Amino acid sequence: MSTIERQTPPTAAVQTPRARRRAAPPAGLVVASGALLLFATALVAPGLLATHDPYALNLADALHAPSPEYWFGTDEAGRDLYSRVVYGTRESLVIGLGATAVSLTLALVLGALAALGGRFVAGTVNRVIEVLLAFPTLLFALLLVAITGPSALSQVFAVGVGSAPGYARIIRGQILSAKNSGYVEAAVALGHSDGRILRQHIVPNAVRPLVAIIALSVGQSIVWASSLSFLGLGVAPPSPEWGALLDAGRVYITQAWWLTVIPGLVIVALALAATTLGKHIQNTLEKGEK
Amino acid sequence: MTRTSSNSPPRPAPGTRPVVPTLRRSPTLTWPRLRRIVEKIGGAVVVLFGAATAAFAAQAALPGDRATVILNIRAGQAIERTPAELAQINEQYGLQNPLVVQYLDYIGGLLVGDLGTSYQQFKPVSEVILQQIGPTVALTLTAVALSWLIMIAWVTLTAGRTGRLAGAGAVVDTTAAGLPHYWLGIILLLVFSLGLGWFPVISGPSAIGIVLPALTLAIPLAGFMGQATRTEFERSLEQPFVISARMRGMGDTGVRLRHVLRHSVLPAITLSGWALGATISGAVVVETVFSRPGIGKVLVGAVNSQDLPVVTGIVILIAALYVVANLLVDLAYTLVDPRLKSA
Amino acid sequence: MTSTIDSVHAPAARTPTPRADTPAPKRGRLSVANLSVAFRRNGILHQVVHDVSFCLEPGQCVAIVGESGSGKSVTARSIVGLTGKNSVVDAQSILLDGDDLRAATKRQWRRIRGRRIGFILQDALVSLDPLRPVGKEIAEALALHHWGNRRQRAAKVIDLLRAVGVPAPENRARQRPDELSGGLRQRALIASALALDPEIIIADEPTTALDVTVQAQVLALLAETKERGVSVILISHDLSVVAHLADHILVMKGGRVVESGSADQVLNDPRHEYTRSLINAVPSELTRGKRLGAAPSDTATTPAADAVAVSIAPRPTDHDCSGPVLQAVDLVKRFTTPDGTVTTAVDHVSFALERGTTLGIVGESGSGKSTTARLALALSSLDSGTVTLLGQDWSSLSEPRRRALRREIAVVYQDPLSSFDPRWNAERILLDSLTDAAGLSTAAKKARVVELARQVGLPQEILQRFPLNLSGGQRQRIAIARALAPNPSVIVLDEAVSALDVSIQAQILDLLVDLQRQRGLSYLFISHDLGVINHLSDQVLVMKDGVVVERGTPDDIFNRPAHPYTRELISSLPDHPRRNP
Amino acid sequence: MSRTRSTTTALITLGVVSALSLSACASAAPASTATRVDGGTIVYGHQQEPACVFGGWIEQAYLSSQVLDGLVSLDENHQVVPWLADSWSVSDDQLTWTFTLKDGVTFTDGTPLTAAVVAYNFDYWLAGGNSTASVWLAGYYASAQAVDDRTLTVNLSAPYPRLADNLTQGYFGIQSQQALETRTDEENCEAPIGSGAFVVDHWNRGEEIVLVRNEDYTSPPANAKHTGVAYVDQIDWKFVADPTTRAASLSAGETDVIYDVPAVAWKTLESAGFQLEKYITPGRPQQLTFNTSTGPFVDEKVRQAFAYSLDRKSLVETIGQGVIPYEGNGGVSQATPGYSETAADLYSPDTDTADSLLDAAGWTGRDADGYRTKGGETLDVVLPYGAGSIVNADGASILQGLQEQAKATGFKVELIPVPQSALFAGEYSQPDEKDITVGYWTAVTSGILAINWKQGTPEAPNYNNASFTNYPELESIILEANSTVDPDAQNALYEKAQEYIAEHALAIGVYDRLSTLAVSPTLKDVWQENAQGGPIFYDAYFVE
């Protein structure tokens, strides 16, 4: 009898191909991880990757096209774009991670209150989230930066707070579905205390999907932050923050495409890598542990 | 406003909803719809009020003496001002009053539809906005429409396929979603206007001129919505009703278009409400890159020169647009998924 | 295919109305020889159907019976070429009226599906597009095969619905599945399969997930269709369902046909051990007090007596008060639906559960039986009435004060999967449920978990697995182990065996009986399945629309039903095969 | 107060362009054999949109110059020539100016131009109608009366020899008194009524201002190339913020003229046959003024060391694509009357001298990063700049270059970009907030020196003196120059003042501020206004 019981139903057999398809294609994942590894290196030890001093002027070689000497070309003051991109990684990533940290922390608080708070609290917080949602991220950032003046810090907060309400929603949903899940009821039936249930079931199950969100959010934050830099509301030159690089390069687009195109590609690459990883994590979580 | 309700517990939990003391099985038909409408309007008002307050708070938090700023803006000078000059301005805009009074005046003005007067243009903010809202709305709507077209075409084509095509589909979504507006805009401008000369360099408000700006906003949005739609699409493809459709002799294309698509766009519809905000954010950038008139440009200008009545006016306007958009989204949602009406 | 041709020209003439007088016209036949299906997973072929052969005569019904994983559904789908991606179908021949379907192209397949072979899946709620009116779905079947014009199709849809016994078809056609009752939507689904008068209907578990009364109606409808000369392939896990429809029965197990023969022979004189066990596994009044599963020799399923002795300290007699362990008086529960309607789910329900006995609550979906269970568990609040547990007030306590008592009453749900935290493996789940073992060391706790697993017949290695990777039976055993862990006096079993294959169901039921004997447990057993209730209960409550319509011993209820509803229930029970020891 | 005008000039500017010599202006109207076609519409791509047509911003002066006529105009040789005023004279005590107005000039609202109207305009400016105009007149202007319809006297409280020169700027456009008195602020903001060659037809905010020809125009300035009405029917004054887009729109033929040609596009456009016009604005160049009241730059040696440590020329010429002109003079730009070469050439790059000066000044230590230290404190220099406003993208790169160069000799320069909003709110305006002030300031004469270096007193502080220190000797030279009537003597004194500034390294120049145009080959005779630059379309015409 038990043989039947253990046999995997054919439906499973039909599903596996789909499951495999849903997950990020291994190739893509490998590439993404590789890219992230590079970015990580640039983050902690830019010296290892850089070929020039990112700040050093070389007026003789101004606006040099990409070449074996200058992989990504040079800018109007003859600075090596590749090295600047490498050194810019730290600034960009720190902003991206910082903004993500800010937004997720805020989102957690709001989401938790909205889901677990009493009727009044939940209602109020939900409204607050609605109001925040009515502020497009960039508009919010514009206002905040106008108040605090442009700096990496204000960028972090502007983007962080700006993107918080969206995540707050997701988290609220997560917590609610955990709260109303069968396993929580089962725990209640076992006579566990609310605190224990919150600690053991609701929080972990609600927070777990955030791993994926974090990855996604870092990419998006960097894009938003760079948009601010682009509007001249970002970090100060000569900082090689990617958005700032792009903004500075835009003037030369017709003569020196690389100053605009390459930093843009780098930003996209990072966003893409982070997202791919995030999605992969999401899928693994969906499929459950093996 | 949006689909948060779908998160609420499936099994009716007593106490969370007002219990109507009626006899068993007494259906009150008008009541629920009425209540829903009231709730929505209430929500909308709260959002607008909140936005207005937030905007005012932002003003109050801005650095520098307001009157000085106003004078400096008008003359484009960054110097100290004489008390005489300041007094006159303070008088004109009631800046000498305590913040609370200013706030109340401001809210009071809003109630009668008065958004104040632009420091720079000497005309009512409502007028300033009305002049600029047209192009932006046109741009936003075109962008959202375009993104839907792109998204649906691409997802229907690639989702749920095996092998390379499926992989490509997802990667393209992700890439598109990650494209920064300003960058995409510049590239499009470089290639299609400067390079190929297919489109005017100065977009202006012309019909042809709207193509590139709209694309700039649409492509990332399409990618973003595509991600959500794709997942749902592939889930729906496995549903029994799809199988029974096949059992009826329906082909793959038929199944995708007639059945699966409708199910898979639901999350994207929800996103569209939020998307409006995103596209307006984008408009701020895109209008600069493509030299289009519009709210975005006015906003950046107003923030830079601290023309605060204009800034707050636009903030409220955008909040209002957001509210409207989400009401529409709810409507669209119930149209696509009629089950919600009865539930 | 004369039938389809003239059906295009004269739709009215072909509307399927019973024509008992005229003999059914000669229809095509289907013959399948040595069908094998395999799925390619990570490059490896997994054979799920082995050499299945059968032959279908016009107006005949071939039933394929088996449990999940037996390959019955795959077999059925291979006949319409829908075994899905990554599948490899191989057969000596699949002949439909002489055309060999193995050679069929996509386009030919599409012509066959719906027109020559109709397919009915289980649960119309999801098998019909939930966003579209059922009428549209039926019309689609017609349109796909270019049948008539829009107006003709609209008319035909109404005819079809009427033909399958849908009242006021004009209105029903405009409603969505979720707006129709289970019976009506299943009929609509069948109508869409019958739309083009196919010569073969394949019904895959057509009545699973339906209430008995509805099930009876649907089976009658299929019988009538068969009468009209349509050949039927009936797929089911439930012998009693196929009993009065099938002319020929194939019993499948693990992808192979273990027994094949006339219905009469298979049901009354099963040759194969497995067939016999299947028949015996079906609980009913005949099985009361008897074991359903194989003899308790199988150590996996029943704990050795000595093991029980060491594992469970004899129950403390502190609660050994005379009265009932669980008593409910005048329970009332109301809900307000989102649209403001107030429904009374439980209406003045009272019962008393005596120690060591089983109280069965039977009723169809929506009868309020599960809500009653939740009230008994104090998981949802009462609008009025009281619940007493072990003589102590239970329902009116505050949750914190209630917790101390909670270990006395445990619950097992129909779908255990959702009641397990997906992050935890079986061991962690059970450790978490040892609420009375606060003092014990981790090692001691783990030992107890292993012991619990043994008692519910699970090998130790299972404990490291995660719920997702356990079979239905294993999950239900874990759920029971969790219920047992705190040594409760009462276990509430809410449809605890409904989702299980009959043989697994048998094992679980046997397990429950054993545990009750060993531990003097009291069960509040909720089920829609009269057979199971009859098999297990000492007292029975029959519920309908939140009200108890009848109560009494199984014998009273099943042999001398007083209430008309009870009678209807009993009468709609499919006469199920005789037990052969 | 032209700095603030230039503030906005640079506001949206992303690419700056420049001329290597004034002679470039001559290239404005090459003799052309092509036949002239009357009428047509000039599409002009400008970079910034002002709030109003008339006002205190240079953006507004540009527009005003098309719509309003001034009393006087400035020709290519910086000579004041008649415009609405046929002639003028100054009393011997230099306190009374008498202007004789053209006859038969009417405003576009039909009202005639009279001395009374002009007098009204003077008072209107002073009363806040044009903050910049009032700044130029304040302290000198007493009153203006109409002697008769065509004779106006302006009474001064102090001699102001360069009054006429200053009146040539666009801020002094004369408007219809009736319009000013009867119409709303909004109307006068969007479509002021003047007697100019063009009339504001309508304004599509955020997109363009449409100017149409004044069919009854009779009053062109003496330095115009023709008389009568303008040749073209209409000007579409479009606002195209992005320099790349602007340049591209010209090549694509979507515009006929663009303002502020990006340096990088210069050669491309030139070789494509476009006429490029470069005008170096007179007045103060883009320069660095040291805070001598507090911080390291109190010590003259340190200031000089800083100057020596820089190679400004090569930096400017590289980043400026050889288009932005290097300016060594911290006082006034090479386009300004009374410019001193000596002052400009004082500090050529010389790191050795820089090092020895710093050693002498006691900045002998070096910290881990190689920055000089003295008594444990780093040689730290704060340099805030109006990012995107006073200093545009190229300027920012140049400053970054200076930062790198100064680093070599051990200066730690902290670049702080200040957004316009903060700037207007008065951030980084106090002595203790910065060590270097960067900025420029267009003006018709070297008189600008007075504004920058006049002594500040507690009751009358001079916020425009970025050194935050009074230099009585310097001031006396400048004031003497200001009230000297003979131009040569005056210029000699101005040069002396510049040399004083250079020797004491109070301020050093970096580059000159430009006003540039690129014009389609089919459009002729677009010339730049000579007081401040900017296009004048009155003479412009299309050729086949």
What digits encode the pLDDT tens for the residues D147-203?
999 999 999 998 888 899 999 999 999 999 999 999 988 889 889 999 999 999 999
Q: What ranges in D150-215 are assigned the alpha helix state H?
A: 163-167, 177-182, 185-190
Q: According to the 3-state scheme, what is the secondary structure of D406-462?
A: HHHCCCEEEEEEECHHHHHCCCCCCHHHCCEEEEEEECCCCCHHHHHHCCCCCCCCC
Please report the domains of chain A, with CATH numbers, ordered by start residue. Answer: 51-288 (1.10.3720.10)
Q: Is pLDDT of C26 > 60?
A: no
Q: Supply the DSSP symbol for D325.
A: P
Tokens at residue D505, please?
């390294």
Highest mean pLDDT pick, B252-261, D433-442, D511-520: D511-520
Please state the separation of Cα D259 from the chain's center in Å.
15
Of A17, A191, A208, nearest to C435 by CB-CB distance is A191
Do the chains contact at C189 and B263, CB–CB below 8 Å? no
Q: Is residue D296 part of a domain?
A: yes
d(CA D497, CA D507): 12
Write down which residue in D239, D269, D301 finishes a domain.
D239
- Average the pLDDT over C18-42 and give the result: 65
pLDDT of residue B16: 32
Beta strand segments in chain B, E: none
Q: Are residues D47 and D136 in the same domain?
A: yes
Q: According to the 3-state scheme, what is the secondary structure of C353-368?
A: ECCCCEEEEEECCCCC
* ipTM of the complex as predicted: 0.76
Chain C residues near residue B245 by CB distance under 8 angstroms: 129, 140
pLDDT of residue B77: 59
d(CA C543, CA B331): 40
Q: What is the pTM of this model?
A: 0.78
Tokens at residue C283, please?
């609980």
CATH number, residue D404:
3.10.105.10
Q: Is residue D366 part of a domain?
A: yes
> Torsion-angle region of residue B15: left (phi > 0), alpha (psi -120 to 50) or beta?
left
Q: Residue D540 contacts by C-beta under 8 Å, 6 or more apart in sequence?
A: D42, D230, D231, D232, D523, D524, D525, D526
Going residue by residue through chain A, which has 290 residues, state the pLDDT in tens, using 9 for 90 and above: 333 333 333 333 333 333 444 444 567 788 888 888 998 888 888 888 888 888 888 878 888 889 888 889 888 888 899 999 999 888 888 888 899 999 989 998 998 898 888 888 888 888 888 888 877 777 777 777 767 777 778 888 888 888 888 888 888 888 888 888 888 888 888 888 888 888 888 888 887 777 777 877 887 788 788 777 777 676 666 678 888 888 788 778 878 889 888 988 888 888 788 877 877 777 776 655 43
Please tell me the total count of domains within chain D: 2
What digits encode the pLDDT tens for the residues B316-334?
888 888 888 888 888 888 8
Any B CB within 8 A of C309 CB: no
Tokens at residue C556, please?
């009273």
Q: Supply the DSSP symbol for D14.
A: -
CATH number, residue D219:
3.40.190.10
d(CA C216, CA C147): 32
Chain C residues near residue B247 by CB distance under 8 angstroms: 80, 82, 113-114, 118-119, 121, 193
- Is the sign of the CA dihedral D28, D29, D34, D40 positive or negative? positive
Do A77 and A57 form a contact (C-beta atoms < 8 A)? yes
Tokens at residue D482, please?
């200001």
Structural domain boundaries enclosing D79: 41-239
Tokens at residue C519, please?
């531990």
pLDDT of residue D225: 93
Q: Would you place residue B80 in the very low, low, confident or very high pLDDT band (cuts 50, 70, 90)?
A: low
d(CA C120, CA C126): 12
Q: What percent of chain D has pLDDT over 70?
A: 93
Any A CB within 8 A of B17 CB: no
Chain B residues near residue C113 by CB distance under 8 angstroms: 246-249
For an interface test with A, the pick among B182, B239, B308 (most A C-beta atoms closer than 10 Å) comes out as B182
Neighbours of A151 (CB within 10 A): 16
Q: According to the 3-state scheme, what is the secondary structure of D139-166?
A: CCEEEEEEEECCEEEEEECCCCCCHHHH
d(CA B198, CA B292): 17
What digits encode the pLDDT tens for the residues D354-412?
999 999 999 999 998 889 999 889 999 999 988 777 787 788 889 988 998 999 899 99
Q: Look at A139-143, B205-209, D9-13, D223-227 and tell me which has the smallest mean pLDDT.
A: D9-13
Q: Look at C116-120, C438-442, D287-291 and tell me which has the smallest mean pLDDT.
A: C438-442
Do D392 and D438 form a contact (C-beta atoms < 8 A)? no
Helices B164-178, A210-230: inter-axial angle, 10-degree rounding: 50
What digits encode the pLDDT tens for the residues D69-86?
999 999 988 899 999 999
Q: Is residue D1 part of a domain?
A: no
pLDDT of residue D176: 95
- Average the pLDDT over C281-305 and give the result: 60
Top pLDDT among C446 and C2 is at: C446
Q: List the Cα angle D161/D162/D166 in 5-degree steps.
A: 150
Query: How far is residue C222 from each of residues C191, C218, D144, measured CA to CA in Å?
Result: 11, 6, 109
Q: Supply the DSSP symbol for D172.
A: G
Q: Is pLDDT of C336 > 90?
A: no
Q: Is pLDDT of B7 > 50?
A: no
pLDDT of residue A25: 52
Do the chains contact at B78 and D7, CB–CB below 8 Å? yes
Q: Are residues D71 and D219 in the same domain?
A: yes
| Burial class of residue D110 in the structure, from the number of CB atoms within 10 Å of its CB (0-12 exposed, 13-18 middle, 19+ buried) | exposed
Q: Is pLDDT of C19 > 80?
A: no
Any A CB within 8 A of C86 CB: yes
Highest mean pLDDT pick, A243-252, A279-288, B12-21, C156-165: C156-165
pLDDT of residue A165: 86
Chains A and C touch (3+ CB pairs under 8 A): yes
Q: Are residues D369 and D454 in the same domain?
A: yes
Tokens at residue B267, please?
């999350």
Do the chains contact at D264 and A254, CB–CB below 8 Å? yes
Do D288 and D508 form a contact (C-beta atoms < 8 A)? yes
Q: Are residues D226 and D358 in the same domain?
A: no
Do D260 and D15 form a contact (C-beta atoms < 8 A)? yes
Tokens at residue B280, please?
């307006």
Any A CB within 8 A of C473 CB: yes
Q: Is residue D399 part of a domain?
A: yes
Chains D and B touch (3+ CB pairs under 8 A): yes
Q: Is residue D23 part of a domain?
A: no
Q: Are residues D226 and D288 in the same domain?
A: no
Q: Is residue D502 part of a domain?
A: yes
Any C CB within 8 A of A285 CB: no
- Average the pLDDT over D519-537 and give the result: 93
Top pLDDT among D453 and B84 is at: D453
Please report the domains of chain C, with CATH numbers, ordered by start residue. Answer: 321-408+488-574 (3.40.50.300), 422-487 (no CATH)
pLDDT of residue A19: 40
Any C CB within 8 A of A192 CB: yes
pLDDT of residue B3: 36
Top pLDDT among C307 and B35 is at: B35
Which residue of chain D comes nearest to A250, CA vs CA? D244
Which residue of chain D comes nearest to B129, CA vs CA? D205
Q: What percent of chain B has pLDDT over 90?
A: 5
Q: Are residues D222 and D287 in the same domain?
A: no
Top pLDDT among C291 and B32 is at: C291
Q: Are residues D459 and D339 in the same domain?
A: yes
Q: Supply the DSSP symbol for D111.
A: P
Any A CB within 8 A of B319 CB: yes
Residue D143 identity (one-letter amino acid): S
Q: Is pLDDT of B162 > 60?
A: yes
Do the chains contact at A182 and C419, CB–CB below 8 Å? yes
Do C80 and C117 form a contact (C-beta atoms < 8 A)? yes
Q: Are residues D292 and D218 in the same domain?
A: no
User: Please, which residues 398-437 of chain C have a Cβ atom closer than 8 Å to chain B?
Assistant: none
| Burial class of residue D22 in the structure, from the number of CB atoms within 10 Å of its CB (0-12 exposed, 13-18 middle, 19+ buried) | middle
What digits encode the pLDDT tens for the residues D264-318?
888 889 999 999 999 999 999 999 999 999 999 999 999 999 999 999 999 999 8
Cross-strand bridge partners of residue D541: D524
Q: What percent of chain C has pLDDT over 70?
A: 88
| Cα R_g (chain A), whole angstroms | 23
pLDDT of residue B19: 33
Please report the domains of chain B, with CATH numbers, ordered by start residue. Answer: 39-111 (no CATH), 125-338 (1.10.3720.10)
Q: Is pLDDT of D417 > 60?
A: yes
Residues D119-149 as b/e (b if ≥16 CB within 10 A, e otherwise) read bbbbebbbeebbbbbbbbbeebbeebebeee
| Burial class of residue C501 in the structure, from the number of CB atoms within 10 Å of its CB (0-12 exposed, 13-18 middle, 19+ buried) | buried
H or E element, residue C567: helix C564-571
Q: Supply the DSSP symbol for B195.
A: I
Write down which residue in D213, D239, D265 finishes a domain.
D239
Of A15, A27, A246, nearest to B183 by CB-CB distance is A246
- Residue D538 CA neighbour count, 13 Å, CB half: 30
What digits encode the pLDDT tens for the residues D5-25?
333 333 333 233 333 333 333
Write down which residue in D239, D267, D296 finishes a domain.
D239
d(CA B299, CA B292): 13
Q: Is pLDDT of D458 > 90?
A: no
pLDDT of residue B8: 33
Please state the separation of Cα D168 from the chain's center in Å.
13
Indicate the average pLDDT of chain B: 78
pLDDT of residue A236: 61
Nearest to D411 by CA among D295, D287, D509: D295
Q: Is pLDDT of C444 > 50?
A: yes
Nearest CA distance, A221 vs chain B (angstrom)? 10
Q: Are residues D231 and D288 in the same domain?
A: no
Cross-strand bridge partners of residue A168: none
d(CA D255, CA D253): 5
- Average the pLDDT over B46-68 and give the result: 80
Query: How far is residue D292 from each of residues B89, D198, D289, D301, D432, measured CA to CA in Å?
Result: 35, 49, 9, 12, 11
Helices C134-144, C150-163: inter-axial angle, 10-degree rounding: 120
Do C321 and C390 form a contact (C-beta atoms < 8 A)? yes
Top pLDDT among C319 and B147 is at: B147
Q: According to the 3-state scheme, what is the secondary structure of A125-175?
A: HHHHHHHHHCCCHHHHHHHHHHHHCCCHHHHHHHHHHHHHHHHHHHHHHHH
Do A157 and A228 form a contact (C-beta atoms < 8 A)? no
Indicate the average pLDDT of chain D: 87
Q: Would you place residue C109 in the very low, low, confident or very high pLDDT band (cuts 50, 70, 90)?
A: confident
What digits encode the pLDDT tens for the residues D257-276?
999 898 888 888 999 999 99
Q: Are residues D309 and D211 in the same domain?
A: no
Indicate the average pLDDT of chain C: 80
Do C94 and C45 form a contact (C-beta atoms < 8 A)? no
- Average the pLDDT over C285-301 and give the result: 60
Cross-strand bridge partners of residue D277: D517
pLDDT of residue C300: 41
Q: Would you place residue D510 in the very low, low, confident or very high pLDDT band (cuts 50, 70, 90)?
A: very high
Q: Are residues D156 and D214 in the same domain?
A: yes
Query: How far is residue A12 from each of residues A290, B251, C69, C71, measured CA to CA in Å?
Result: 15, 24, 10, 12
pLDDT of residue D118: 96
Which residue of chain C comes nearest to A204, CA vs CA? C423
